[in-house]
Chains A and B, each alone.
Chain A
């Protein structure tokens, strides 16, 4: 289904804090996002243009979850001027959005194993609600690990050992790979995804990876968000953001 053409105003309806994360919920009755799709999101006020400084471009945010009456939720962490402004947004304020955009995860025949790292857990919330699947989630520390509350029955690892397994989420994945697993859906930092891809290839398991890249437009215009694939550079926004692990270079 096509995304509505043009940037639109949507009202921020919900705002929740979960440890260092902020969950923003807006009503977008015009569109229905698939798991793995994203929106370009900015606030309507105090965001670039005219005399503004940064943030200037909208930020690409994965759809974390969709709900009744067009509710679409995003998961954020304040890591720079754009996410800071979005995290400061208050219920009732308008957001400017373009979307939903990109190719999401494909509907699996059987529930996939979900592997998420940090803010990359966001699209996997939608995947688990749509299709089920066990979630292996890696975080920096116990504060960030509160993000695991968005999942049913997650297995958690933390870098500092303050919650769950002390180590990397790919340690948990290696254990799972011995149990006849067939398909992995993953999203997280580049190093984690690279490890997931390598493990999947070694064990002959299929993988779909939701990638993140800085992007100016989100709809194929700027060519700024490319990723290297076996077939040359591809745009994360229109050829992804979900790619088969086997096609990435």
Chain B
């Protein structure tokens, strides 16, 4: 068993937030999904205080070895998550990590506090890739904003807090250090890289939401560098992610200092990718031990 912030996990592979909808997948694949659950913990899509429709389509653009998305965090809001999704997620065979986002420390605090008395939620991941509407600064890109956020939110929760870091910042290691100083239990990185796709007819941005986020194998080397820099700066555990498609990719992030690895876009290509990558990783460790 792997210990991650007090969570006991069967292996080191989890999903990246927004890359697997377990309730939709259960409707599609039935019981087999739980019998062969691909992740050691399940990270929810981002939950916000109010419901969000998400961005107008088109929302996707396939790039070289990757994907640019502008989904816009569609979700039914906190109340529907607590009353509708959480009871359904009780059947999960692994710990649940709930991902939340707000546009001020107050909003994020409200979300975190609402999860405090929910035993189904094992840990909370903070999506900070969002501007603070009060200061105009990207919370996750500015160490000062991040530390202030954590100082506000930390006292509101006894659950492990994981801060999801964005690569769209000058110094990701400084952001990780600020999160740790504010009381974060772990950091996860990297979120998508800001990217733009233009319509083939020259009419401007292709995606309905304007710019988007790049993911997939195209960003793996960037993720590896970011994880490596953060691991040299902080001592809290790291969830490494970005373009992981094989056990070898996962091992590289672990070698760079990650404790867990998250699989994102590869889940789109194969819903069982997490299980395959965990198994490839285990084979690697068995070989080393042998």
Contact = CB atoms under 8 A, between A and B. Distances in A.
A7 interface: yes
Contacts of B31: 2
B62 interface: yes
A72 B269 CA distance: 20
Contact of B29 (A52, A217, A219): A219
B270 A98 contact: yes
A215 B243 CA distance: 18
A224 interface: yes
Q: Which 3 A-B pairs have the closest CB atoms?
A: A220-B24, A2-B30, A6-B272
A53 B65 contact: yes
Contacts of B56: 228
B141 interface: no
Interface of B: 18-21, 24-25, 27-33, 36, 45, 53-54, 56-60, 62-67, 69, 71, 74, 216-217, 245-246, 265, 267-273, 275
Contacts of B63: 54, 56
Contact of A216 (B21, B28, B36, B60): B60
Contact of B54 (A3, A4, A216, A223): A223
Contacts of B28: 2-3, 101, 219-220, 238
A5 B20 CA distance: 13
Interface stretch (A18-26, A42-50, A110-118, A136-144): A42-50
Contacts of A238: 24, 27-28
B77 to A, nearest CB: 13
Contact of A7 (B25, B45, B53, B269): B269
A130 interface: no
Contacts of B267: 217, 221
A238 B53 CA distance: 17
Contacts of A232: 53
Nearest to A2: B30
Interface in A227-249: 227-228, 232-233, 235, 238
A219 B24 contact: yes
A220 B203 CA distance: 30
B71 to A, nearest CB: 5
Given A54-B65, A222-B19, 17 more contacts: A2-B30, A5-B29, A49-B217, A49-B245, A51-B65, A57-B269, A58-B269, A214-B60, A215-B60, A219-B29, A220-B21, A220-B28, A221-B20, A221-B21, A222-B268, A223-B54, A238-B28
A223 B74 contact: yes
- Which of B29, B62, B66, B275 has the most chain A CB within a 10 Å cutoff? B62
B71 A223 contact: yes
B62 A55 contact: yes
Given A50-B217, A54-B62, A54-B64, A221 B245 contact: no
A221 B27 contact: no
B29 A2 contact: yes
Interface of A: 2-7, 42, 48-58, 82, 96, 98, 101, 213-217, 219-228, 232-233, 235, 238
A227 B54 CA distance: 11
A223 B75 CA distance: 10
Most buried by B among A82, A214, A222, A235: A222
Contacts of B30: 2, 5
21 contacts: A2-B28, A2-B30, A2-B32, A5-B272, A6-B271, A48-B217, A56-B63, A56-B217, A98-B270, A217-B271, A219-B25, A219-B29, A220-B24, A220-B28, A222-B69, A223-B45, A223-B54, A223-B74, A225-B59, A226-B59, A227-B57
Contacts of A53: 64-65
A226 B271 contact: no
Contacts of A56: 62-67, 216-217, 269
Most buried by A among B24, B33, B59, B269: B269
A5 B268 contact: no
Nearest to A217: B268
Given A5-B272, A220-B21, A226-B54, A233 B60 contact: no
